[in-house]
Structure 1
Amino acid sequence: MNTKIELVIFDCDGVVIDSEILSAQVLINMLAEIGVNIDRAYVQQYFLGCNFKTVTQNLFDTFNVTLAESFEADYREALLNEFETALMPTNGIKHVLEQLSVPCCIATSSSPKRTAKALNVVNLSQYFNKVFTSSEVKNGKPAPDLFLHAAEQMGVNPSKCLVIEDSKAGVCAALAANMQVLHYSGGGHMQDAVNFVHQAYPEVAHLTHWDDFYKQYPALQTQ
């Protein structure tokens, strides 16, 4: 890490909230109802960090399936219902947010409604005054647009931003934005899973638990 960090950009799903297992299972169940059978490993490899447009295109290209117009809305509603009872923050994230000495924001492929709901459910809304979603840019991750948009809106040079991501698409987007990157693999969906991110980007800094965050980035902790 050669450049001072002035902004931390958090991905939401799988980084701040432990939502990816819930999201994957809801999608798997709904796709099974229309004859498309995938598992969590498939979701992990091809959908993690991507917006729904990318997911839809993959399903068409791979399974020759065109989703009903109502599918996305139905999926989001089912997932929000699941969030109400089962969603948790990632272990240790609150302590990190309480001790962070620089501004932070969220940049996520999820919808504004889903993100707002999720942060509210896990009582983390107060830490994120700024939330940026892929609906605000032309190209979602793995394109750098969302992270560059977040940096511009926050008034920080991209080289002085630290992006924390769990997905290959997100890490790719952050690197394309010329930002510093930390791959977080402490979410429930990463346990006993193939780490496709580490395989693709072995040079990227890696964190398995938030308890070690300030050991890697001591300058970011409030003194």
Structure 2
Amino acid sequence: MKSNDTSIELIIFDCDGVLVDSEVLCKRVLISMLANISVNVSDNYFDTYFLGQSYESAQKQILADFKVSLPDTFRDDYLEELLKVFNHELTTTPQLESILPRIKTKNCIATSSSPDRVKFALNTTGLLPFFEGRVTTSSEVKNGKPAPDIFLLAAHKMGVKPEHCLVIEDSEAGIRGALAANMQVVKYTGASHLVDKMQPINDSLDHVPTFSHWEKLFSLYPQIA
């Protein structure tokens, strides 16, 4: 599938599942912690309702589906457990580090993660120097993905009009948010939570280009190098 021909002045990376291979770790920790309070969710449930979305969104979904209000301490406890796992197991997505220096287009991050979590993830994987000072989190906007707010704020910070932004996302929520922001978007499927899994985009999003190896990004968008 061919990419959009509109000029690209800014690349907006999602973090979890795009820059860092974290979603399988998040899933493992969260499913385990939810089971401890008798909220039993499947892998598919996680992918459908939690992937790419904020903690607040997950919290509301659990309340709606299980009639369980997460304890006040749950968010901090989850972050503490997750960062322990990140410290030992978190890596970048395959071949990312070899292509980042070749990207000449201005770039930044827009993530549903909290500021502490994304900073820890970037620092642990050695990516912080590359993106420091150019990270927008869901804590800065009223509405998280799939609303367009976080993408519009990231573009505003970088001084680029939405139509000249390319968003790289792995989740349907993120893709919908980018499209709602009137931005170009491409789906990355090379992280371990999507490799060898059938993850069809919703029929209404089947026009979105998809790639699974970072080198392919330059084939889709040669103007960024």
What is the rounded CA distance, in whole Å, between the counterparts of 2:120 and 2:101 in structure 1? Answer: 21
- Name 1:41's counterpart in structure 2: 44
* Equivalent in 31, 44, 58 of residue 61 of structure 2: 58
Corresponding residue of 1:87:
90
Question: Do the aligned residues in 2 keep the contact of 1:7 with 1:160 (CA within 8 Å)?
Answer: yes
Q: CA deviation at 1:94?
A: 1.2
Q: CA deviation at 1:199?
A: 4.4
Change (3 A) 1:49 1:200: farther
- Is the 8 Å Cα contact of residues 198 and 204 (structure 1) preserved in structure 2? no
Give the C-alpha shift of residue 96 in structure 1. 2.1
Is the 1:45–1:196 Cα contact (8 Å) retained in structure 2? Answer: no
| Percent identity between the two aligned chains | 47
Query: What corresponds to 1:127 in structure 2?
Result: 130
Does 1:175 pair with 2:179?
Answer: yes
Give the Cα–Cα distance (whole angstroms) in 2 for the partners of residues 17 and 176 of structure 1. Answer: 24
Structure 2 CA distance for aligned equivalents of residues 123 and 206 of structure 1:
26
CA distance in structure 1 between the aligned counterparts of 2:5 and 2:218, rounded to whole angstroms:
16
Contact 1:168–1:200 under 8 Å retained in 2 = no
Query: 1:5, 1:162 within 8 Å by CA — same for their partners in 2?
Result: yes
Q: Does 1:99 align with 2:102?
A: yes
Whole-Å Cα distance in 1 between the matches of residues 41 and 196 of structure 2?
18
| Paired residues of 1:162 and 1:181 also in contact (CA < 8 A) | yes
Of the candidates 175, 194, 197, which is equivalent to residue 193 of structure 1?
Answer: 197
Question: How big is the shift at 1:191?
Answer: 2.2
Structure 2: 5+ residue stretches without partners: none
The match for 2:166 is 162
Partner AA of 2:151 in structure 1: F
- Aligned residue for 2:185, secondary structure, equals strand
Secondary structure of the residue aligned to 2:193 is helix
> Does residue 1:13 correspond to 2:8, yes or no?
no
Q: TM-score normalized by structure 2?
A: 0.96
Number of paired residues? 221
SS at match of 2:21: coil
Residues 1:218 and 1:95: Cα distance change in structure 2 (over 3 Å): same
Name the stretch that deviates more: 131-140 or 204-213.
Answer: 204-213
Between the aligned partners of 1:205 and 1:198, the Cα distance in structure 2 is 13
Partner residue in 2 for 1:204: 208
Deviation at 1:93, TM superposition (A): 1.2
Structure 1: where are the runs of 5+ without partners? none
Q: CA deviation at 1:201?
A: 1.2
Corresponding letter in the other structure for 1:204:
V
Deviation, 1:45, is: 1.2
Normalised TM-score (structure 1): 0.96
Aligned counterpart, 2:77: 74
Shift of 1:193: 2.8
Post-superposition offset of 1:35: 0.7
**2:153 partner amino acid:** H
**CA positional deviation for 1:148:** 0.1
2:113 maps to what in 1?
A: 110
Q: 2:52 is aligned with what amino acid?
A: G
